[in-house]
Structure 1
Amino acid sequence: MSESLENKHHWLEIFLKSIFSFVGVAILALGATLCKVGNIGLDPFTAVNIGISHKLNMSLGLYQLIANAFIMIFVILLDRKKIGIGTVINMVGAGFMIDWFSGLYSSIFHFEPSMLTSVVNGILGLLLFTLGTSLYMSTNLGVAPYDALAPIASTRLHIKYRFCRVAQDIGFMVAALFFGGPIGLATIIISFFAGPLITFWDKSLSDRLISGLVEFSKQPSGKSIGHGVTGAGRFTYGIVKKSYNQTLEIQEKLSQYTDLQLQLKQEQARQDFEDARKLVINSRKMYGMLKREEERRAKDDNSDGD
């Protein structure tokens, strides 16, 4: 394959992943909107932004963009490798999309919220929020500025990631309470127990879609699209336990690995590949031995028959 063709496929992959990331952020924003109108709370960062934006009589989209831009200055100075196209899509799009979806919801549904509608909105909101998070992070095109804070602090302060993340989420929860932001059950679930749902979406949908997208970018064709759609439809339900630990792992994945973690993951992948290669070699040897034994017995049977 020529270098120009490789570059073409690379940029096609980036373009498709960017669209994929945009769709993920849109679904995430829709989920956040349903949690908001259901009065069950939001993630700590969005909650504190809503509280402050209301006090300043400013739209959530505009204030969250300003807050993200301020945080991103520090991220660029401390670890610019975490910044990518996905970062821009998230920091610019999420807040404005929540504003837009909130207006659309109000224009369509005019009834007073009840316990039933809160429960329905909350469940759908959490499902869509975790789905959007899974789709957005699976593109690996950069992280949201908020999600870059904990790993940077962990590296700079030599403190475990989980402690930095917990302190960060709790700090923003307290700030949201102080500024009157929407803190509720969803805030706790998103901060500490969303891991199984995100893992479920990763394994059943997002990873498959990204794999199909990468393959399509290498060989664009209608047949590739058909295979991708078929593969995406073959998932079954299964929620993974160990909620809190998995949530921290997912949050760390959102923040991308540090250089040391990346080296360890590469070494682990190399070892897994080596083990798999040895297994294939041994399996072939075993198959050859069994095949030769089968042929020997067949010859013995023929000679006895003669």
Structure 2
Amino acid sequence: MSQMVKRIIMSILGVVICGVSVGMFKFAALGVDPFQSLMSGLDAVIPIRFGTLYVIVNAILLLFALIFDRKKIGIATFINLFLLGYIVEFSQGLCEKLMPDAPVWLRIVILLIAIVILCLSSALYFTADLGVSTYDAVALVWSQRQHKLKFAYCRVICDLVCVTLGVILLLLAGQNLTGIFGSVGVGTIITAFFMGPLITFFNVHVAQPMLGKPKEEKKDEG
């Protein structure tokens, strides 16, 4: 199998797994990933449909990537943009159908699995290098331009900024604690602190070996 075919498969697989993981996050209802927590906050204060808002925010981030590093835009970017939402809806609906009235312990297990496969999916399409999501591009571009700051740390900082802004926006919208914890909960905190390091781990030990690369961190990703 040629390298290009492997990279395309890794990109598609990465986006699909990412969508499944986000659907599992939403099903667990213990806090979504940092970017989605920001989107929840924006949705609470901006009176337009969420789908339209999602497109606008990602278009702004896409513009950032086009300005600073067009190489981050590729097939995975557009698969993510146009298909991710449908995959999320399908996986969330499937979980609700298979596990109705899931107890808290089961939702915790689903959350932990979702965190792991979300990081694995990110590593797959990062390493395939055929484009990443517009949000992922921010941390990648930043880490490349600030060589003293590894990708893992750039990702943690970006995630913490998203979580903080999400909470502030939800508070400004008058959300109660129950509403806030539904969007920004334990799952959000875990992903904010551990996604960067976990992505780097899967990149080094899974994604790079799939392309026949040695198990060492690339300079542009930390």
Q: TM over 0.5, yes or no?
A: yes
Q: Give, as a single letter, the amino acid of the residue that structure 2 aligns with 1:28.
A: C
Q: In 2, are the aligned partners of 1:64 and 1:91 still within 8 Å (CA)?
A: no
| Deviation readout 1:22-43 (Å, 9 max, x if unpaired) | 1111112212222222122222
Give the corresponding residue for 1:64: 54
**Pairwise mapping of residues 99-178 of structure 1 onto structure 2 (< 5 A)?**
99-111=89-101, 113-150=102-139, 152=141, 161=149, 165-177=155-167, 178=169
**Does the alignment pair 1:39 with 2:29?**
yes
Between 1 and 2, higher relative CO (CA 8 Å, sep ≥ 6) is seen in 2
1:182 aligned partner, one-letter code? S
CA RMSD of aligned residues (A): 3.4
2:65 and 2:138 in contact (8 A); partners too: yes
Gaps of 5+ in 1: 1-8, 213-248, 258-306
Letter in 1 for 2:192: S
**Scaled by the length of structure 2, what TM-score is found?**
0.72
- The one-letter code of the counterpart of 1:173 is V
Q: Structure 1 stretch 119-128 or stretch 166-175: which is displaced more? A: 166-175
Task: Tell me which of 86, 90, 108 is aligned to 1:96.
Answer: 86
**2:193 aligned partner:** 192
User: Residue 196 and residue 59 in structure 1: after superposition, are their counterparts in 2 closer, same or farther (change >3 A)?
Assistant: same
Cα distance, 1:169–1:69 mapped onto 2, change above 3 Å: same
Aligned residues: percent identity? 29
- Name the SS for the 2:211 alignment partner: helix
Which 5+ residue runs of structure 2 have no aligned equivalent? 171-179
Cα contact 2:72–2:129 (8 A) shared by 1: no
Query: Mapping of 1:255-266 within 5 angstroms?
Result: none
Say whether the 8 Å CA contact 1:64–1:95 is kept in structure 2.
no
Instruction: Count the aligned residue pairs.
Output: 204
Q: Please give the TM-score of this superposition, normalised by the length of structure 1.
A: 0.55
Letter in structure 2 aligned against 1:211: G
Counterparts of 2:55 and 2:79, CA distance in 1 = 11
Amino acid at match of 2:203: D
Whose Rg is larger?
1
Whole-Å separation in 2 of the counterparts to 1:197 and 1:151: 15
Return the letter of the residue paired with 1:14.
M
